[in-house]
A and B are shown apart, each in its own frame.
Chain A
Amino acid sequence: MSELPGGPMTALVLRLQDEIFAIEAGQVREILEVINVTDVPNAPAFVRGLINVRGRVVPLADLRVVFRMDQPEPDVNTRIVVIEIELEGDPAIVAILADEVHGVTDIDTATITAAPRVGTQWRAEFVRGIGKLDGKFLIVPDLGRIFEIQGRGSVSPAEERAA
């Protein structure tokens, strides 16, 4: 689990179902309305789609899969957040789906505490910490870790079977 930097963190706050997430704003490249998503057959549910971001083919990840949430169809509030991360040591551009994007806020990292080992329905290693914003819990996901682990098993059982 990577350490959070000290001082305030400028974060993009977004909603996935009933939870509020914070992503470091520096990582965010752009925010798009929902566009045509191409399904990738046999890809893991986490990265089932591809989108065209200014002529670039970018994988679209769904964090709701990782956090075991419902995955309803996109609505008017749904946005696509394009971010820069590292994949196996190389910089990469990926997009994540957000049910709603609230805005950019400064969060005092001192308020962020490590995720409790119990009481959550998701794997603790995917969360860097949990903070508070306006009285609600704020989840800071460890995107690097999520993509590393979820991206690894990119061959789904279906294709293995077919092969």
Chain B
Amino acid sequence: MNFPDPTETFRQEARELLDELERCLLDLEKNPLNDDLINEAFRALHTIKGSGAMFGFSEVANFVHEFETAFDRVRKGKTAATPELIALALDAKDHIESLIATPEDPVPGGSAIVDALRALTEGAVQAPAASGEKAPAVEQADDIVAPAGGQGAGKRWRVKFYLPQDCFFRGTNPLLLLEEIAEIGACTITALTDRVPSISDIDPESTYLGWQVDIEGDDPTQELKDVFLFLSDGLDLKVEPILAEAGLANDIADNPAQTSGEVKTPATDVPEEAQAIAPEAASVRAAPAPRAPQEAQAAQPQKGKVAQPVAQGGMSMRVAAERLDELMDCVGELVIAQARLSQIAADSTDINLKTISEELERLSSGLRDTTMGIRMVPIGTIFSRFRRLVHDLSRELGKEIEFVTGGEETELDKTVIERLADPLVHLIRNSIDHGLESAGARIAAGKSAKGRVRLEAVYAGAEVAISVSDDGAGLNAERIRAKAEEAGLLAPEAKIAEHDLYQMIFAPGFSTAKEVTALSGRGVGMDVVKRTIDGLRGSIEMTSVPGRGTTATLRLPLTLAIIDGMLVRVGNGRYSIPLAAVEECVEMPTDPDSQSRGRSFLDIRGELVPYIKLREMFNTPGEPDPHQKVVIVSCGDSRVGLVVDQIIGNSQTVIKQLSKLHSGLKAFSGATILGDGSVALILDTVNLVGLGQAYEEQHHRDDKWRAA
């Protein structure tokens, strides 16, 4: 009853394709000669055009067609993918986006883009009319040998080609190529074995066969180019007219309907034909024969490559976020109930109960993972849109910028990711506009002219840390201070730690930019960033080294996380450590020497790892267990050992946020409910690691002090 709106499906699919197009274009800018990228972009365009026309988005289809026509010249290598062309193509992409968003109210400016594209790609050549036939006149000159006989209708053509020897490794299937050629017109295919070497020289995974195809019809050069689209490197292709049989060919061309019957090898016969050739070759020279049967099978899903993006678009499904929330709540309760059942089953002697409990445990953890998986999206999905932002800003401000991303695979809840986009845009803009100096200033400071902005996401225990860093001038503490005093945020002469001073830039209405640019500097932004991150129960921190750059780090909890935790005991208290952060568990050395020196370091395979005695930190009463254990947790590159009394085991941990009354406790990131119904706190590994690092720094300082 509730059929999805097909146009909505198209929109969604088109958005995905446009994203892909944008990614290709941006990659292409760096690597303008990459044929794969060009082809990928072309495919995306082509699919948008096709489905656009199908769903009645005629404006879109027309425009994309023009775009495609222009871009076709890039694909054919007639025009280089210059930065100007890429910029224009990106504009065109935006235009398509707006056309899709409001088809009934076409945005003006499309024709200007098309004209500019044409001017760029075709130079002086007269552009074809808006009806959009591919410009045939221009497309003749290229690497394929043009027929000597020039234009003549209804001829026979002899096509000889040898595939690159390594074509199997690129997934090329000669049978599919032959089938595609056969679609051009009626043809006769003969295998050429003249290049097959003697048996001792044969590499069974290489291709030595060539094919000679006699095609009837018009000059097939153009069609052949499409067939061999993905094989332009190392392809040996020759097209010659067969003049002697011109008369016969004419007749056939006039009656295309009859041709398939009369001609010896119409399209459908090709696999058999090819198979027939292969064993023949095998019996003579034993070359690629073993592959032939497989290829014949593989021939079934032909054109798979082109059809795939469409299929993927159709497989995604839109579900209201609150339904997922409900599902997640239920799963959370289920996991807790299951933990209770497990506990009862463990104490019971009823074998049936144990079996059911184990099965339920398996099912519920599967359900948990799936449910979480539904909501989790790799953060890379929004990273790509920042590449565009950086690209545009770079052009606008005339700053050369290298944009580096890392940790794209880090997954976060979809709603979190969506809400993160705006704050990250602000931060990246700030980095580029305020952070990075002009090329001249950079060179004067002894840095490379090209600025660098880095966007990175890492799992940090039960949190994800996302950092935006630049190698610019760094925050100007004095100016922030002056501004803060001016805005009345800070009393003059008041002492404030640098770190706290940097936090001031998140105050509403705060901006240190000397001049307001179109991009940033109006004082809105950073407070919005702060508010959004607060709303996601995250935190934001600025660090800066004058002359070296600024880093903004967002830390976000994996909100609806049910995580795998390691349950440990400290005194009478049980605590859960996110298993993702746990590296290993070792026994605490009882060696009195290492304890007495007052050094809180463990020697883990030659590396010093600071450790924290949780008993001391938590002021746990009573005597410690005789054999203390150390759980080594990591965050990024740093590690810290947590000394506990006992390691109880793994447990599924449904994270419950702590109330505001406890949110100031840095050692805990949340709480969870155990199988027996009691509450256990979840250790905040990121903060604990930070604490360990502080120890380490202290240690280094002490060493220096001792050395001095």
Contact = CB atoms under 8 A, between A and B. Distances in A.
A41 B620 contact: yes
15 contacts: A38-B573, A40-B662, A40-B668, A41-B619, A43-B662, A52-B677, A52-B678, A56-B656, A57-B673, A59-B662, A90-B660, A92-B660, A154-B661, A154-B665, A155-B665
Identify the 5 closest CB pairs spanning chains A and B, nearest first: A41-B618, A154-B664, A38-B679, A57-B656, A155-B664
Interface in B647-669: 656, 658-668
A41 B94 CA distance: 55
A30 to B, nearest CB: 16
B659 A94 contact: yes
A17 B694 CA distance: 44
Given A55-B333, A154-B665, 13 more contacts: A39-B573, A41-B619, A42-B619, A47-B661, A52-B673, A57-B659, A57-B672, A61-B661, A87-B659, A92-B659, A151-B660, A151-B661, A155-B666
Contact of A41 (B617, B664, B672): B617
Contacts of B665: 40, 42-43, 154-155, 159
Contact of B679 (A57, A88, A90, A154): A57
A51 interface: yes
A43 B673 CA distance: 19
A35 B676 CA distance: 11
Interface string A4-46: 0000000000000000000000000000000110111111000
B367 interface: no
Contacts of A112: none
Contacts, number: 93
Nearest to A92: B659
A52 B680 CA distance: 10
Contacts of A61: 661
Nearest to B614: A41
Nearest to B617: A162
Contacts of B466: none
A110 interface: no
Interface in B82-129: none
Interface of B: 333, 336, 572-573, 617-620, 656, 658-668, 671-673, 676-681, 691, 694
A38 B680 contact: yes
Interface residues of A, number: 33
B195 to A, nearest CB: 74
Task: Specify the main secondary structure of chain B where it touches its partner.
Answer: loop
A55 B675 CA distance: 11
A151 B694 CA distance: 27
B661 A59 contact: yes
Interface string A86-107: 0110101010000000000000
A162 B612 CA distance: 10
Interface of A: 35-36, 38-43, 47, 50-52, 55-59, 61, 87-88, 90, 92, 94, 147, 150-151, 153-155, 158-159, 162-163
Nearest to A61: B661
B679 A50 contact: yes
A92 B660 CA distance: 9
A154 B662 contact: yes
Contacts of B664: 153-155
Contact of B573 (A41, A59, A162): A41
A154 to B, nearest CB: 4
B557 to A, nearest CB: 15
Contact of A59 (B619, B659, B677): B659
A52 B662 CA distance: 15
B692 to A, nearest CB: 11
Most chain A CB within a 10 A radius of its CB, from B333, B666, B676: B666
A146 B489 CA distance: 28
Nearest to A151: B661
Contacts of B691: 162-163
B658 A57 contact: yes
B644 to A, nearest CB: 13
A153 to B, nearest CB: 8
B667 A159 contact: yes
B661 to A, nearest CB: 4
Contacts of A88: 660
A41 B667 contact: yes
Residue of A35, A39, A58 most packed against chain B (CB within 10 A)? A39
Contacts of B573: 38-39, 41
A162 B695 CA distance: 10
